[in-house]
Amino acid sequence: MQVRRIVGAALMAIVMLGTARAQQAATGVLTYDAAFFADQRPNTAYDMVRRLPGFAFDAGATARGFAGTAGNVLVDGERPTSKDDGLDAILIRIPASEVDHIELIRGSAPGIDMQGQTVVANVVRKKMDLTKIVATAEDLVFEDGHMIPNAALEFTHQADGHLYEGAVSVVNNYDDSVGIGRHEIFDAANNLLELDRAQSHGLGIGVAAKGAVTMPFLGGQFKTNLTLRDSPFISKLAYDSPTLHQLFVDKSRTNSAELGLHWKGKLGSTELETLVLQRLARSGDISTSDDTLTLQEFSSQTTTGESIARATLRYLVSSALTFEGGGEGAYNFLNGNTAFAVNGVPVPLPSANARVQETRGELFGQGTWKFADDWGLEAGVRIEASAISESGDTTKSRSFFYPKPRAVVTWTPDKQTQVRFRFERVVGQLDFNNFIATSDLSATGVTAGNADLRPDQRTQFEFSAERHFWTRGAIVLSLLHEEIKDAVDFVPVVTPTSAFDAPGNIGNGRNDEVNLALTVPLDRIGITNGLLRTTSIFRFSDVRDPTTGARRVISSERPQDIELRVTQDINSLKSTWGIFYYNGWTEDSFRLEQTRQRRAIAPYLNVYWEYKPNPDWSVHIEADNILRFTYDDRRRNFARPRDLFPLSTIDEYRTRSIPTIDIQIRKTFD
């Protein structure tokens, strides 16, 4: 009922706003020049993108391949060629002074590669000679006294059509749910059996180096980029009582390298874009559980590689019609070795050791047609064929073939209003890590690998309505319906000696989403240069549980996400302050002998202040999680399969998280 009211109110608001007549011609592109962002005094292109009305930044997916993984921001009309170097990091390295304007492209536009998105932002840089060095120092201070430092040094030089970029940085990674709490075990009648003091800790400090060169070459533009990264992480969880001391430790480290080559230029009356990408990574993980009587140890070593070659040919028939087509080929591999032992005695695991190889090819073609002043159509199809083979403990080879049609129709009655309808068939991608065993000894234990996993296929129908108002305001409503085939969840795997859970296909299902985003300037209520941004996402999934046969949600899907952010730019103080509120999350997962519910219980509240005395200096001070959200992990355990046996115990871990202070100083040298 609540969701129905929200949707109804949003639709009414859009209709009412749509009655206003715009003074400009209908177009799917809105342009924001540097003056639009002046009150904020942005440091980077990322700061500017985050202030675009009605735009929600998307860094992109982490799946293999280049197709279907793009974020929703272009730089000078092109997608960044790196996958290891995050889109947000790339935008942070672009000083705001280099940005000429930003285009918000909605629906589609001839000559623009939308990368499978319905809305993209295009950051257009100034064509000028410049040299900039940016130094950033940051420290994250936890209430208990431990600190996580971060620092970066970035270099940009542009002259005579050549662009040189480089960065070295300290990379930190931490668990924001750490703290002091309690661990309780109850019987099926909710009688307390055990009470322990719990304390958790998790962080990692690594390094990264990145470099890129862009230059004219063979009548077009050539770019090469290299990224190197070292990412360690260690987490500890201890349970203590007069009769128990149990320690869970997880140590992991990943080293990765990526090399990208990209060329784009004219080939007669067409435009050709080519890309070659090579990624390599090595990861190691050791997890232990020790209660002085029983020592469990799980170890994993993996090496992965990804090779991609892609070519796209675009032909601009007219200012209203563009055709493009091309292909992508990829080779991917994973070598994984895992082992599990209890008190030194090895325990056999399904698919403990595996070498997985994938060859995949994709052909694609599409057209973008503005067939009327206020109507546009983007339609095309991608055809994917792949072969996956596994050797090791299991020998298996499988082939897949999927056509993936897509169509987006847009209606733009005026420049401030747009309505979109999208139909698309989306095919998921198999996670190679699901082919080998994994572990979470403090919660779900060991999860087996599954060589029979198939990618899920989703037929999507999406309706979006967008209205911009009051210069900086916008309201966007999106309704998504998905019909799911071969939904991926957990399935039981039984061996002669043990029973495990494994990622697997559980049949068909559906998913519905309601997404309402609102940006409202607050000047009309007396808060000059104030801005309210809210995002509310509601999800309703439905699949059949493979163990009990009952209908339920998809494991680990969060039913709702609600965020609220208020900012105000105070020109007289050369400052910006802000408040961020998040309502927390809940996710349920379902296994053969366990159901699990994890929650981050609100309130989660951040406040910050940023002082920018001039374009070269900024000081950012932020207090995060000042009201201490609660992390709760509740597991209902069954002695045997939960469709046949009653509840045995309830295991609950709950902790109050730790507030932090984040201090960042940024200096730009010209």
Distance from the first to the final alpha carbon of the chain = 56
d(CA 17, CA 414): 11
d(CA 255, CA 27): 46
- pTM of the prediction? 0.85
User: Which DSSP state fits 471?
Assistant: T
Structure-token pair, residue 488: 């991926």
Q: Which residues contact 327 (CB under 8 A, 6 or more apart)?
A: 310, 311, 361, 362, 363, 364
The pLDDT-based confidence of 114 (bands split at 50, 70, 90) is confident
Classify domain 2-669 at the CATH superfamily level: TonB-dependent receptor, beta-barrel domain (2.40.170.20)
The pLDDT-based confidence of 110 (bands split at 50, 70, 90) is low
Report the chain's mean pLDDT, rounded to a whole number: 87
Q: Looking at the predicted structure, is the pLDDT value of residue 549 above 70? A: yes
Could you report the per-residue pLDDT of 133-170, keeping only the tens digit for each?
A: 999 999 999 888 888 889 999 999 989 889 999 999 99
Q: Which pLDDT value is given to residue 353?
A: 83
Q: Which pLDDT value is given to residue 67?
A: 63
Q: Which of 451, 564, 542, 429 is nearest to 504 (CA)?
A: 451
Cis bond before residue 53 (omega within 30° of 0) = no
Q: Which pLDDT value is given to residue 6?
A: 42
Could you report the per-residue pLDDT of 350-377, keeping only the tens digit for each?
A: 777 888 899 999 999 999 998 898 999 9
Q: Which helix (H) or strand (E) holds 264?
A: strand 244-267
Residue 259: C-alpha distances to residues 221, 486, 555, 635 (Å): 17, 34, 35, 43
Q: Which of 56, 55, 78, 50 is nearest to 66 (CA)?
A: 78
d(CA 665, CA 670): 17
Q: Which pLDDT value is given to residue 2?
A: 43
Q: Which helix (H) or strand (E) holds 430?
A: none
Q: Is 354 exposed, middle or buried (0-12, 13-18, 19+ CB in 10 A)?
A: buried
Could you report the per-residue pLDDT of 609-625, keeping only the tens digit for each?
A: 999 998 889 999 999 99
Q: Which helix (H) or strand (E) holds 13?
A: helix 2-18
Residue carrying structure tokens 């918000």? 104
Structure-token pair, residue 245: 């001391």
Determine the distance from the C-alpha atom of residue 649 to the mean position of all C-alpha atoms in its chain, rounded to a whole number.
35
Rounded to 5 degrees, φ, ψ at 214 are -125, 130
Q: Looking at the predicted structure, is the pLDDT value of residue 451 above 80? A: no
Q: Which pLDDT value is given to residue 231?
A: 92
User: Which DSSP state fits 48?
Assistant: H
Could you report the per-residue pLDDT of 236-266, keeping only the tens digit for each?
A: 999 998 888 999 999 999 999 999 999 999 9
Q: Looking at the predicted structure, is the pLDDT value of residue 93 above 70? A: yes
Residue 614: C-alpha distances to residues 41, 573, 587, 667 (Å): 9, 11, 45, 10
d(CA 501, CA 447): 5
d(CA 457, CA 508): 9
Structure-token pair, residue 507: 């049949």
The pLDDT-based confidence of 288 (bands split at 50, 70, 90) is very high
3-class DSSP state for residue 503?
strand
**Strand 192-217, strand 162-174: pairing:** antiparallel
Determine the distance from the C-alpha atom of residue 603 to the mean position of all C-alpha atoms in its chain, rounded to a whole number.
23
The pLDDT-based confidence of 3 (bands split at 50, 70, 90) is very low
Q: Which of 282, 382, 403 is nearest to 333 (CA)?
A: 282
d(CA 260, CA 568): 40
The pLDDT-based confidence of 11 (bands split at 50, 70, 90) is very low
Could you report the per-residue pLDDT of 122-139, keeping only the tens digit for each?
A: 999 888 888 999 999 999
The pLDDT-based confidence of 462 (bands split at 50, 70, 90) is very high
Q: Looking at the predicted structure, is the pLDDT value of residue 21 above 60? A: no
CB 423 within 8 A of CB 406: yes
Could you report the per-residue pLDDT of 578-604, keeping only the tens digit for each?
A: 999 999 999 999 988 899 999 999 889
Q: Which residues contact 12 (CB under 8 A, 6 or more apart)?
A: none
Within 486-615, strands assigned E span 488-494, 499-505, 509-521, 530-544, 551-552, 560-570, 575-590, 594-614
The C-alpha angle 206, 212, 214, rounded to 5 degrees, equals 170
Residue carrying structure tokens 């997916």? 61
When pLDDT is averaged across residues 311-316 and rounded to a whole number, the result is: 92
**Strand 73-75, strand 119-125: pairing:** parallel
Residue carrying structure tokens 């080293």? 255
CB 158 within 8 A of CB 215: no
Q: Which helix (H) or strand (E) holds 204?
A: strand 192-217
Q: Which of 281, 294, 154, 181 is nearest to 228 (CA)?
A: 281
Q: Looking at the predicted structure, is the pLDDT value of residue 14 above 70? A: no
